Structure 1
Amino acid sequence: MERKSIFKLIIFLTLFFITIFSIYVAFKEERRGILTVAFLNIGQGDAIFIEAPSGSQILIDGGPNKSVLRELSKVMPFYDRSIDVVLATHADQDHIGGIPDVLQKYKVDIFMETGVSGESSSYKELEKIVEEKSQGVPLGNFKGEPLKKILVRRGMVVDLGDGVVLQILFPDRDPAGMETNTSSIIARLVYGENEFLFTGDSPKSIENYLISLGGLESDVLKAGHHGSKTSTSPDFVTAVSPEYVVISAGKDNRYGHPSQEVLDILNNFGAEILRTDKDGRIVFESDGESLKIK
């Protein structure tokens, strides 16, 4: 290679790395002190991406299929190929279908679940990948430390740094034998004066149980079971007292989610309703004192 060509290549690479570094610094500066919670637009299902001011990230559920990868590319910088924690609220297809693809594409440190198994082919694939990665078998583009698998129980806290914590509220027992929706992980994200409550597909019976335990108040409620009438009772909404309620559902889905009964309950309460089937991806930002929709 001629000396002139080598010099041009060095200049190009130098400018390239300066540009990448500048983008990285600008992104970090923009995020200083900000918690982001994004309800991803993945159709009929749930997928929630959380990034703390510290840079720690959690993905709660992965939607029905690999569409979660498209959505993650919209809320994560292009150079980021790692997610600290992936949490599956329960084993139904519309919550775990995309997680195998996430584990293949991203380096994930911790996988959290209830331990209640599902029957879908996606769950069996997920089980296989988690088992292999927990033994350090390289999959996708990544090698390195084995994936850590955790069965969650009430009282566990995921510390994301900079004052952001995810509190596990349910299950509070071994959920073996429970129906998958009933065993759903319920978790509360807290950052300063702002809270988010994630409910998976939990039915009213579990909502009533949690009401008896208290400590549900949250600014944002993710409505259980995509707005189905099996969840989101008036008493539960009153106990949570949300300013916003997010419903994650697919456009013109065959289940009729969200139900008019639930919409009436939320409207009577006065909460602002946000829907992925109508609003697309829904992104909240919090500085620990106030919330805004991005």
Structure 2
Amino acid sequence: MERVKAQLHWYALGFLFCLTAVIWYAVFAEDRRGLLTVSFLDVGQGDAIFIDSPTGVQVLLDGGPDRSVLRALSRVMPFYDRSVDALVVSNPDKDHIAGFIDILARFRVGAVIEPGTVSETDTYKTLAAAVAEEGAARVLARRSQSLDLGGGAELLILFPDRDVAELERNTGSIVAKLTYGQTSFLLMGDAPSAIERYLVMLDGKRLNADVLKVGHHGSHTSTSEELLAAASPLFAVISSGEDNRYGHPHKEVLDRLVAAGVQIFRTDTGGTVSVVSGGESIRLRK
């Protein structure tokens, strides 16, 4: 009798586990339906942006400076999900790519999109080897390329518009605009003010966006007044580490954002920032 009770106990636990998995799957599926979620992950002094499209296409733009991206992702992805459709390397500096090595070790990855800037660091060489072992397609980013995320969501490359192999890595950074319906996100990577002004010259008010991912972690070298005037964002997200040695975000940038009437969110003080769009408006997810 005790053995039968023990078996029933384990059967019950197994049933509850399966039921819990089904419920959580339904919760995530329902939560995703018709919604675009963009999570600016708290990975310390680095960048990592997780994009979950209305149809479930997933893109990770930058991987942060270390394996902390795994912990941050676990809070915005279902536990059973072990694939990412595309990784985007905005630039090959360690604070943008090191976490990708751990991602590739644990997730199936369909494609890796890169700007074409050159790096000879051990971190980049390790990443390149991991991409080759995964067998993921490698795509060189160029202006006007569009990644269809499904459901009307689109990730459009604004820069580079040329071969950037000889450019300084930040100067050659990928800049992209994510659009869903009437809502949009301008993702600046580490692009300096010279590139910002160049894009303003090319695109003008087409840079307009609800959310601005502030360039270079809030460094004074980015987020020019010209960019803010063209983009006219409602919200700005700054990804930086608490008490980092660079002093990011710099006071000049915060002052420019405040003067432009932009509401500021920071990963160093508030953790991961998740923004949800239904195509007509955006809201912050707590």
TM-score range, shorter chain: over 0.9
What is residue 112 of structure 2 aligned with on the other side?
111
| Superposition deviation, residue 108 in structure 1 | 0.8
* 2:102 aligned counterpart, secondary structure: helix
3-state SS of 1:225 partner: helix
Partners of 1:14 and 1:42 in 2: CA distance: 36
Q: Which runs of 4+ in 1 moved over 4 A?
A: 2-12
How big is the shift at 1:180?
Answer: 0.4
Shift of 1:17: 2.4
When structure 1 is superposed on structure 2, of 48-57 and 21-30 the one drifting more is 21-30
Aligned residue in 1 for 2:261: 270
- Is residue 285–residue 292 contact of structure 1 (8 Å, CA) maintained in 2? yes
For 1:255, the aligned partner's letter is Y
| 1:188 equivalent among 162, 169, 177 | 177
Q: Deviation of residue 21 (structure 1)?
A: 1.7
> Separation in 2 of the partners of 1:249 and 1:6?
51
Q: What is the deviation of 1:230?
A: 0.7
Structure 1: how far apart are the matches of 2:43 and 2:122?
19
Residue 282 of structure 2 is aligned to residue 291 of structure 1:
yes
Give how far 1:281 is off: 0.8
Report the Cα distance in structure 2 between the residues aligned to 1:56 and 1:171, rounded to whole angstroms. 24
Q: By how many angstroms is 1:227 displaced? A: 0.8
SS of structure 2 residue aligned to 1:75: coil
Question: Deviation per CA, 1:135-171, whole angstroms, max 9, x where unpaired?
Answer: xxxxxxxxxxxx1111110111111101111001000
How much is the aligned-residue C-alpha RMSD, in angstroms? 1.6
Q: CA offsets per residue over residues 154-200 of structure 1, 9 Å max, x none?
A: 11111110111100100011111011000100000000111001111
Normalised to the residue count of structure 1, the TM-score between the two structures is 0.91
Q: 1:267 to 1:7 in 2, by over 3 A?
A: closer
Distance, in Å, in 1 between the alignment partners of 2:219 and 2:10 is 58
Match of 1:120 in 2: 121
What is the SS of the residue equivalent to 1:98?
helix
Deviations 1:200-258 (A, max 9, x none): 10011111110011121100001111111111110111011100011111111111111
Please tell me whether residue 168 in structure 1 is matched to residue 157 in structure 2. yes
Check the 8 A contact 1:247/1:274 in 2, yes or no. yes
In the TM superposition, residue 262 of structure 1 has moved relative to its aligned partner by: 1.0
CA distance in 1, matches of 2:51, 2:270: 19
Could you tell me which of 184, 196, 205 is aligned with 1:207?
196
Superposition TM-score, scaled by structure 2 size: 0.94
| Alpha-carbon shift at residue 259 of structure 1 (Å) | 1.0
Report how many residues are paired. Answer: 281
Whole-angstrom distance in 1 between the partners of 2:31 and 2:238: 28
Instruction: Report the CA distance between 1:78 and its aligned residue.
Output: 0.7
Q: Distance in 2 between matches of 1:11 and 1:155?
A: 55
Evaluate the alpha carbon distance shift between residue 124 and residue 7 of structure 1 in structure 2; reply closer, same or farther with a 3 A threshold: same
Provide the rounded CA distance (Å) in 2 between the counterparts of 1:274 and 1:286: 17
**Shift in Å at residue 30 of structure 1?**
2.2
For structure 2, the 5+ residue unaligned runs are none
Residue 73 of structure 2: aligned partner: 72
| 1:12 to partner: Cα distance | 4.7
Distance 1:30 1:206 in 2: 37
Moved more, 25-34 or 14-23: 14-23
